[in-house]
Amino acid sequence: MAGLWSKIKYLARSGAYGGAWYISPFFCSASQTCLAKTWESLALLQSTVDFTAQGRQFGHLYIPYSYNLAGWANLMVPIGVIQNGSGPTTLVLAGNHGDEYPGQVAVMRLMRQIDPTQVRGRLILIPALSMPASKAATRLSPLDGKNFNRCFPGNPGGTPSEALAHHLTTVLFPMADHVIDIHTGGRGVDFYPCAHMHLVAPGPQRAGMLAATEAWNSDFCFLYADIAGTGLLPVEAENQGKIVVTTEMGGSENVTAQVHALTQSGLTNVLKHLGVLAGRADTRESLGLPPTRWVQALDWEDYQFAPESGIYENRVPLGSVVASGEVVGAVHFVERPDRPEVPVKAKSSGVLIGCRAPSLVAQGDCVACVAHEVDPRRLA
């Protein structure tokens, strides 16, 4: 019994046969009952790529689930691996939220176009983490109602989103030296396109993240706070000591050619900076651009929320400097055109880095983010 239990635990942890086996926790007293329940609780997340093989591979992560018309269904999440010799491993992710498309396009293009001989180490690429949400143009997965970016560290016996989060936490993050998670503001928030990061503790990790974030060559680099919950993918990767780069590549339904271009050029340049892609990384100076402006919004007061429901009017262009008390937007009431608009005012001076994307707004929706210029290398 002990030997078989050891074998089960080995399968659960090793990723045997190209997949990853997990055991849901349970307690029982009788050894035979325990063994039976063990086999019954094995949940298989299977991968069709070999993470040790050289060259380019396309495959899927298979996440088992059931619904009314298919008791043995699998959610198939596309994954690519490009490996050439020894070197660092960079995990490149997009589609964390389904309605954020510039990163998905950039990763798919990179998967198809990159020559494996250009890679120095290993690239692992997942263009659409929330595949059902990507196909539905929604932030949350229609399969299980989950916000994937609130599912970490995950649950191997949970919903498909939770199982995939657990796979990243326990299998893919440990493989990686760097994690790139490409976001936009989705349909809800429009950002001045920027690379951003959390302010991790001082030391080599923070220094590496600052340099990699700057390598995106966006006009702004943004230090941000989590104002809408816990369980974020970047936080889990940061807690594992990874160099993590994230973005807000615009937002809203419309994705401009400029945003697509910055997403793709920035991603390629960061990979060169990290040493996983051959070639010399460009700097803003070499491109004839002024230095990146670092801004931060680390306080709850930096984020403005709609005081009432109605039609929201943005009054200030993104990237503009605003003064404390300046009106940055207003809520109008279509059923009461005689009622005066309700202004939304900046609580402090700074740069308007994000604003409401849809015109219709519900009370409590984030409608503005005012960030403040900062030298991140002087922060404690």
pLDDT tens across 8-22, in order?
A: 333 333 333 333 333
**Alpha-carbon distance 298 to 197, whole Å?**
11
Beta strands in 137-219 (DSSP E): 178-181, 189-191, 194-197
- For 250-285, the pLDDT digits (tens) are 999 889 999 999 999 999 999 999 999 999 999 999
Which of 18, 16, 17, 35 has its CA nearest to residue 26? 35
- What pLDDT shows up at residue 20? 37
Domain definitions of the chain by residue range? 2-44, 48-297, 303-378
- What pLDDT shows up at residue 18? 37
- What pLDDT shows up at residue 227? 80
**What pTM was estimated for this model as a whole?**
0.88
Q: Decide yes or no: CATH 3.40.50.720 for domain 48-297.
A: no
Residue 226's pLDDT band (cuts 50, 70, 90): confident
Cα within 13 Å of Cα(41), Cβ side: 20
Virtual torsion, Cα 173, 176, 178, 184, nearest 10 deg: -50
Q: Between 3 and 282, name the one with better pLDDT.
A: 282
Q: Which residues of 281-291 are buried (b: 16+ CB within 10 A; e: fewer)?
A: bbebeeeeeee
- For 138-151, the pLDDT digits (tens) are 999 999 999 999 99
Dig out the tokens for 277 from the structure: 């892609």
CB atoms within 10 A of CB 308: 11
For residue 95, pLDDT beyond 70: yes
**Mean pLDDT within 201-230:** 94
**Alpha-carbon distance 375 to 171, whole Å?**
35
For residue 239, pLDDT beyond 70: yes
> Domain 303-378 maps to which CATH number in 3.40.50.10490, 1.10.357.10, 2.40.50.100, 2.60.40.1260?
2.40.50.100
Cα distances (Å, whole numbers) of residue 51 to 56, 75, 278: 10, 20, 20
Which of 221, 205, 228, 230 has its CA nearest to residue 294? 221
For residue 7, pLDDT beyond 70: no
Dig out the tokens for 198 from the structure: 């959390």
- For 164-201, the pLDDT digits (tens) are 999 999 999 999 999 999 999 999 999 999 999 999 99
